[in-house]
Amino acid sequence: MRKYRKLAELHVYQKVIIVFVVLMAPVFLTNLWMNKSGMSFMKEGYANSILSNVNFYSSQLNDQIAFVRMQQLQLLNDPDVQRLGFLGEQLSESEDILLVNRVAERVATIRNSSDYLLNVGISIKSIGKTISTQNRITSMPNPESELIARYSDNNPGQPLYYDDGRLFFIETSNNGNIIAFLELSIPNLSATLNRLVGLYKDSGVLLVNEKYGNVVSVNARQQVLDHLNVHDDQGYSDQAVESYLLKTDKQSYLITHTPVSSLGLTLFAYMNQDEVTGPLKKFNTWYVILSVISLTVVILFSFSVNLMIHKPLKKLIQAFKRLETDNLITSLRNQSDNEFGYLYRNFDRMVEKLGQSIEENYEQKIALQHSELKQLQSQINPHFLYNSFFNLYMICRSGDLEAATTLAQKLGSYYQFITRSGKDEVPLKAEYQHALDYCEIQSIRFSNRITVEASDISEACEAWEVPRIIIQPLVENAFEYAFTSVRRAGVVRVYTTLLDKRLSIVVEDDGQDVTEELILELQTKLTMDSPHSEKTGLVNVSRRVRLKFGEQSGVVVSRSSLGGLKAEIIIYYND
């Protein structure tokens, strides 16, 4: 649920981008799957094609060599060859010439039967002659008879003989008296094998023998030859057509091998896979390019959505937030005719009308507050005046002129302050001094049994403007609740604290008549902000302070550390 909640909190353009990516992801994944599948299909088809070609060419080559080998064996058993081998010098010269010519014709016929044959010949020791298609009829010893002699020494019993780049099939009969030899044309074999891999540049084909090594090769690469030499002991000539992948440092080669039984050799064909899969790799490159382009399109699309939708919306939201802070100077001037231009213009008209309405209401509220302040100020208890004059009368009758003089002077200063017309606000220093004058009047009234402890206020806040007569009601409340019913000595403490822009004016006493119920009742009255609530005493002061300094300011009451009541005016002052 938390994930869904976070998704719901995203901006519009972010949701659009997410939807776009989610919709495009299957397309890209499908394309990637098709590409991978195509690559696998191509590789499989490529491998099958190579296997088929190698099998075809090896079968053709095997059939051709088997055919000429059979003719070689037939040549050994030819009646004219057998007669020359058995009778030898017993034949007459004319008969000898006749038989030799007929054998020469037979040799030529065999040579012409296959393009893979370079030379066909037969050596007959009994007549001391070699008959071949290249040298015709020659007497022994000759180069051909010497080659046969090397064969007999190096390769007895094996028909295949490889000597200095030449490939022979040699067969003997009559205890070595008759030797038939076929020399294969390596260039023609190479030309045939080249057709197997001629379509690819990085490819090659080899005919390999465990004894002679590389017999015939076309475009053989050394790194492939090194690999085949390592695996010579695996007996490839006994296996059917197979293939495997050879990976070098930079390339991957598909190697196919099959035995050519008639030659006693193994045919190897190798091809670079990159030549076959190269087009698909190019497609991969284009796929990557397409992905990058698509990603770029998504980014540009997100920026365009951000520019066309999110930024105008954000601008409108920020304007509403500024409006929430009572900032009516907010304006979204826009002359365009699109949707946001229409919203901006209507927003400006709304702000303008709202400003007019607020201005009208504000003027009415100020007038109402001013009237209310006057009314609240006029609610000061008139009984204090009567009591003060009565106390002055009693002091005069007692003959204490000094006390009467002090009381008269303090009363004059007191009533001069509260009856002064003009501003509704006074400096805090004057308001504080007025409260202290009141304390002295009350001390005289209570026959000096009440001790007033007052501290000086901070110079930093002496000039602060505060509503008139806000401290006196707190002091008056202390005398009223703490000392009127009990004739005992008491203490009233008045002090201020200033922390940053927070001013606290505290009046507390050590009265014993303040109960928890009374404190709770006062707290309840102070928290009520109804126009019909009581507007005298502490509530009066709290209401006036809030009107002046805001709802964070006001009056709070609690139990004093002296044991009586603690009343505190809190003012948050902002220049």
Reference 180, options 109, 58, 81, 65; nearest CA is 81
CATH 3.30.565.10 applies to domain 379-572:
yes
With beta carbons less than 8 A apart as the criterion, state whether 107 and 68 touch: no
DSSP states of 451-487 as a string?
A: EEEEPPPPGGGTT-EEESSSSHHHHHHHHHHHTSS--
Q: What is the CA radius of gyration of the chain?
A: 62
Residue 535: predicted pLDDT: 47
Would the CATH topology of 190-276 be identical to that of 379-572?
Answer: no
Residue 334: predicted pLDDT: 61
- As a whole number of angstroms, the distance between CA 519 and CA 527 comes to 12
Exposure of 383 by Cβ count < 10 A (0-12 exposed, 13-18 middle, 19+ buried)?
exposed
**What three-state secondary structure class fits 126?**
coil
DSSP run (H or E) holding 295: helix 273-305
Distances (CA, A) of 429 to 392, 425, 454: 27, 12, 13
Strand partners, 254: 245, 271
Residue spans per domain, the chain? 45-186, 190-276, 379-572
Q: Can you list the alpha helix ranges (DSSP code H) found in 306-426?
A: 311-324, 339-377, 383-398, 401-419
**What three-state secondary structure class fits 378?**
coil
Residue 233: predicted pLDDT: 45
What is the CATH superfamily name and number for domain 190-276? YNR034W-A-like (3.40.1840.10)
Contact residues for 398 (Cβ-Cβ < 8 A; gap 6+): none
The structure tokens listed for 273 are: 């896979």
pLDDT digits (tens, 9 = 90+) for 84-126: 877 776 777 788 888 888 888 888 888 888 888 888 888 888 8
Residue 409: predicted pLDDT: 82
Over the chain (575 residues), the average pLDDT of each successive run of 10 is: 61 70 77 74 70 76 83 85 77 80 87 86 85 85 80 66 78 80 83 73 72 62 63 49 70 75 75 69 74 79 72 71 65 63 72 72 63 53 69 80 80 76 78 87 77 87 87 83 68 89 90 82 78 62 85 89 89 82
- As a whole number of angstroms, the distance between CA 226 and CA 208 comes to 13
For domain 45-186, give its CATH number from 1.25.10, 3.90.1570, 3.30.450, 3.40.50: 3.30.450
Reference 538, options 553, 552, 556, 514; nearest CA is 556
Contact residues for 209 (Cβ-Cβ < 8 A; gap 6+): 160, 162, 215, 264, 265, 266
Reference 123, options 146, 102, 97; nearest CA is 146
Residue 505: predicted pLDDT: 92
